[in-house]
Amino acid sequence: MEVVDFLGRGWKYPFAVQRGSINSSDGEDSIRESILLILSTARGERVMRPDFGCRLNELVFAPNTMSTATLLRSFIEEALQNWEPRIEVDDITVTPRSDQSQLEVSIDYSIRASNSKYNLVYPFFLESVGK
């Protein structure tokens, strides 16, 4: 069995149809898309699996503080540990952007089957109350 077989194959995220067939992804792309799907799904959003996803939506109106960054990191780490067993999270770094309405999340992870290392940058936008 090849490593790519172990990593799986599934529908591409975001979902797309091209020339009458559903686009698919496999291997490392499948894992990257899975991480994005986990982070962009709010807990409770899926009726048949209400515990799936990440709690990031709870922080959308939070102030851009170190406390928010720490919670964001914790929520991401918890969600990836629960929902993406093909990876080992090596590090998560949350960096505030200069405009105060965005936190940049850098996720360093290793694929367990191949020990290959990857990085995913995820922008998280904060909404100011009263803006």
Tens of pLDDT, residues 12-24: 556 566 677 766 6
DSSP-assigned letter for residue 116: -
Query: Which neighbouring-strand residues pair with 104?
Result: 95, 123
Name the domain count of the chain: 1
The answer as to whether 90 is a domain residue is yes
**Crossing angle (nearest 10°) for helices 66-83 and 27-40:** 130
Pairing status of strand 17-18 against strand 87-96: unpaired
The answer as to whether 22 is a domain residue is yes
**Can you give the residue range of the structural domain that contains 86?**
3-125
Tens of pLDDT, residues 52-83: 999 999 999 999 899 999 999 999 999 999 99
Total-model pTM: 0.81
Q: Are 69 and 53 a contacting pair, CB within 8 Å?
A: no
CATH of the domain at 15: 3.10.450.40
